[in-house]
Amino acid sequence: MTDVTTQRVHFRTCTLCEAMCGLRIETRDEEVRDIRGDPDDPFSRGHVCPKAAALADLHTDPDRLRAPVRRTAGGWEAVPWEAALDEVADRLHATQTAHGLDAVAVYLGNPNVHNLGAMVFAPLILRGLRTKNRFSATSVDQLPHMLASYLMFGHQLLLPVPDIDRTDYALVLGANPIVSNGSLMSAPGIRDRLSRVRARGGRIVVVDPRCSETARVADRHLFIRPGTDALFLLSLLEVVFERGARLGRLAPLCERLAELRAAAAAFPPERTAPHTGIAPDALRTVAAELLATRAALVYGRVGACTQEFGGLTAWLIDALDLVTGHLDEPGCMMFAKPAVDPLVELGGLGVGRGSYRRWHSRVRGLPEFGGELPVAALAEEVLTPGDGRVRALITMAGNPVLSTPNGRQLDRALRSLDFMVSVDCYVNETTRHAHLILPPVSPLERPHYDLALHLLAVRNTAKWSPPLFDPPAGSKDDWQIAIALHRRLMARRYGRRSAEALKASLLERLGPERVVDLGLRLGPYGRGCGALPSRRRRGLSLRALRDAPHGVDLGPLVRALPGRLPKRPPLGPGKPRRYIDLAPQPMLDDLRRLAARYPDGQRAEPTTVLIGRRQLRSNNSWMHNSARLMRGADRCTLLVHPDDAAPLGLNDADAVEIRSRVGAVVAPVQITRDIMPGVVSLPHGFGHERDGARLRVARAHAGVSVNDLTDDAMVDALSGNAALSGVPVEVRRRS
């Protein structure tokens, strides 16, 4: 008998970052032979970054778990799926019965956003547990943007997106899209997109404490002291109002313009310059350029969010776009029109408008947002005795020991839990504390559709990615794990014939593919869309996407307001209506904290502060277990300006100790003028030396965790988001 070799070419969306690059993947039998960019993908047009190859590495990684395991005194042992799921449900139910619903906490990592099954069905576990102790990567990332959208526009996911393909002026704060490939801005091939801005005579201005990869290709880079972006933006607003603000066609929708103007008036450029480090003349030049350019935008991201005044910064970015006439116009900040709209609930599976301050964390009183508490509070909720203490934890696709502030404290907290279960494919720095780990299938063994990221795309497209390989017999997708746990938990709480148990069974039959199909059919392109390959032009459906393996181009961003705004109670008397609140009261109230932190007439104290940085061949910490992504020189280095290195007698590669209030690490120095004096930088995602983690490649490139230095006590009091940028540190030469 002759063996038959099967060679195939697959077209798929990469799930490793927000860019949604189209991939062309060649397989031979069960082996990935080649991964490259798909030149026929209408969104990415052949672009791909080095991370794409990690899809094959993850699929074949010998460290990846293929079946459930239980931690024992003698090590990890395999457990059958049914027994593992029953044990998890029993332990969680017993914990809540004995200690209350809030005794169980949940943490969701950001890979869930790139996972169709988890996006659709993980919320069932949250609703089933009914705990207020819900945490996610949101509060170490984009929470301030979501809060600003909730308060200003009425929906937490009504997030403006840079129309980068048509802009003539981009002011970029705390973002490095050339490395991130876009963040809250799905923009594959962003380097080329930025190059085209300049080629057509446009300008890019970057405001950042580091001369990043994006700043190097910009027309101008302005160094700014970490944490002072809100001051810079208030001064820009003051100058804009002085020269003549313009709201354009959105003026009838805007409320409380006078309050915004009064707030900005207290922060002229001369008042803020000693703190930001940006000269008044340079700031006024930026304001003049914004006002003089029709297609302009202001865009801020992680560096602007993860600071003590992230909420104010996110609000002021949107406010500045509004009062310069640069919101919801071509070439400005716009709103995507996704084929499956997360703002529309489908059978209770959609995303609600949001909520704010419905409850607060037990220990420190940090505010709830969107049904979640800030993850900076998780460790203290476990370690602090008393009623309501967290005693059990579920983590899904997350590694908060390396990705949230004061990781060593969280390490201690996880060791003290009565029970912990992780839905994860690795024994990593977090899941090594779990009593049970439930591993889902490989990303190449499940279908994919980007439910969340199309909401952030710089062009409207849609694409369905079928699995490359059949999942192994007996394995489970994330959605199957979620539905199985939900069904068991509801059966223990209400009985096997309850309405909740019946609902779980019905949802299991539905599955994520039918949810996508329903969303497509009911979405804005579901009927009469002329961009479809179907001759009958019946509109988008899952079948139509399957017939278009490279994806479907739905056109550039279009004006969305006022129709995209939800109706909500007015600020004064009257009926619910659509409007934009330019000066939400919680934002105005927080200005007092900003003014007290940065007093008028005083210069910033000469304290060394720490910021993070992202790297092209990394996104989440698990990528450090890919040998091809870890090739080359040591990337876990501390960037130090020559003026700060000289007094310490430092040379490149010298070891230094970096110490903060919560801990200390040792790292090699990289001396560079790309970092401003008084600021040092470590990359995130490292720290793989912890005992018990089973990541062999990562351990060989362990580095140190920047979050062993970030301080859980440092948060944006307004939003609760962790302040990972601007952490006071002391740097000493290691003898």
Mean per-residue pLDDT, 465-483: 95
Q: pLDDT tens for residues 54-63?
A: 899 999 999 9
**Are the CB atoms for 225 and 675 separated by under 8 Å?**
no
Task: Please state, in angstroms and rounded to a whole number, the distance separating the CA atoms of residues 119 and 591.
Answer: 36
Q: Phi and psi for 524 in degrees, rounded to 5? A: -70, -15
pLDDT at 483 over 80: yes
Flag whether 89 is in a domain.
yes
Flag whether 68 is in a domain.
no
The verdict on 312 and 170 lying in the same domain is yes
pLDDT at 562 over 50: yes
Q: pLDDT tens for residues 353-404?
A: 999 999 999 999 999 999 999 999 999 999 999 999 999 999 999 999 999 9
**Are the CB atoms for 296 and 167 separated by under 8 Å?**
yes
Mean per-residue pLDDT, 688-700: 95
The CATH number of residue 52's host domain is: 3.30.200.210
First to last CA, the chain: 68
Q: How far are the Cα atoms of 27, 352, 393, 424, 472 from residue 441, in angstroms, in the given order?
A: 18, 29, 22, 10, 8
Q: pLDDT tens for residues 431-454?
A: 999 999 999 999 999 999 999 999
The verdict on 103 and 189 lying in the same domain is no
Spell out the residues 6+ positions from residue 285 whose beta carbon is closer than 8 angstroms to its own.
none
Flag whether 596 is in a domain.
no
CB atoms within 10 A of CB 710: 30
Domain final residue pick, 295, 313, 334: 334
Flag whether 28 is in a domain.
yes
- For residue 453, the number of C-alpha atoms closer than 13 Å in the C-beta half-sphere is 30
Nearest to 41 by CA among 14, 23, 54: 23
The verdict on 375 and 462 lying in the same domain is yes
Flag whether 565 is in a domain.
no
Length of the chain: 735
Domain final residue pick, 300, 316, 334: 334
Which residues is 680 bridged to in the sheet?
610
Q: pLDDT tens for residues 95-153?
A: 999 999 999 999 999 999 999 999 999 988 998 899 999 999 999 999 999 999 999 99
Q: pLDDT tens for residues 287-301?
A: 999 999 999 999 999
The CATH number of residue 281's host domain is: 3.40.228.10
pLDDT at 4 over 70: no
Flag whether 218 is in a domain.
yes
The verdict on 361 and 325 lying in the same domain is no
Which residues is 169 bridged to in the sheet?
203, 296
For 53, the domain range is: 7-57
Q: Can you state the angle between helices 499-522 and 116-129, rounded to 10 degrees?
A: 140
Spell out the residues 6+ positions from residue 307 whose beta carbon is closer than 8 angstroms to its own.
226, 227, 229, 313, 716, 723, 724, 725, 726
The CATH number of residue 535's host domain is: 3.40.50.740
**Token code pair at residue 253:** 């929708």
The verdict on 368 and 515 lying in the same domain is yes
Per the model's pLDDT, the better-predicted residue between 1 and 211 turns out to be 211
Per the model's pLDDT, the better-predicted residue between 527 and 375 turns out to be 375
- 3-class DSSP state for residue 128? helix
Mean pLDDT score of the chain, rounded to an integer?
94
Nearest to 477 by CA among 426, 511, 427, 437: 511
Q: Phi and psi for 52 in degrees, rounded to 5? A: -55, -35
The verdict on 679 and 709 lying in the same domain is yes
Spell out the residues 6+ positions from residue 707 whose beta carbon is closer than 8 angstroms to its own.
401, 402, 403, 404, 405, 406, 407, 684, 687, 724
Mean per-residue pLDDT, 338-348: 78
Mean per-residue pLDDT, 604-609: 83
The verdict on 202 and 347 lying in the same domain is no
Task: Please state, in angstroms and rounded to a whole number, the distance separating the CA atoms of residues 310 and 182.
Answer: 19
**Do the strands 203-207 and 220-222 form a parallel or antiparallel pair, or are they unpaired?**
parallel
Flag whether 2 is in a domain.
no
- If pLDDT is split at 50, 70 and 90, which confidence band does 713 have? very high
Q: pLDDT tens for residues 530-553?
A: 545 444 457 999 999 999 999 999
E strand or H helix at 255: strand 254-255
Domain final residue pick, 334, 365, 398: 334
CB atoms within 10 A of CB 560: 15
The verdict on 632 and 520 lying in the same domain is no
Q: pLDDT tens for residues 62-95?
A: 999 999 999 999 999 999 999 999 999 999 999 9
The verdict on 166 and 301 lying in the same domain is yes
Instruction: Report the amino acid identity of residue 171.
Output: L
Q: How many domains does the chain have?
A: 4
Flag whether 51 is in a domain.
yes
**Token code pair at residue 207:** 């405001």
- 3-class DSSP state for residue 11? strand
DSSP state of 530: T
DSSP state of 451: T
**Token code pair at residue 364:** 């420190």
In this predicted structure, what is the pLDDT of residue 535?
40
The verdict on 661 and 722 lying in the same domain is yes
Per the model's pLDDT, the better-predicted residue between 369 and 500 turns out to be 369
- DSSP codes, 155-212: -TT---EE-TTT-SEEEEES--HHHHS-SSSB-TTHHHHHHHHHHTT-EEEEE-SB--
- Give the angle 188-190-192 at the CA atoms, nearest 5°: 115
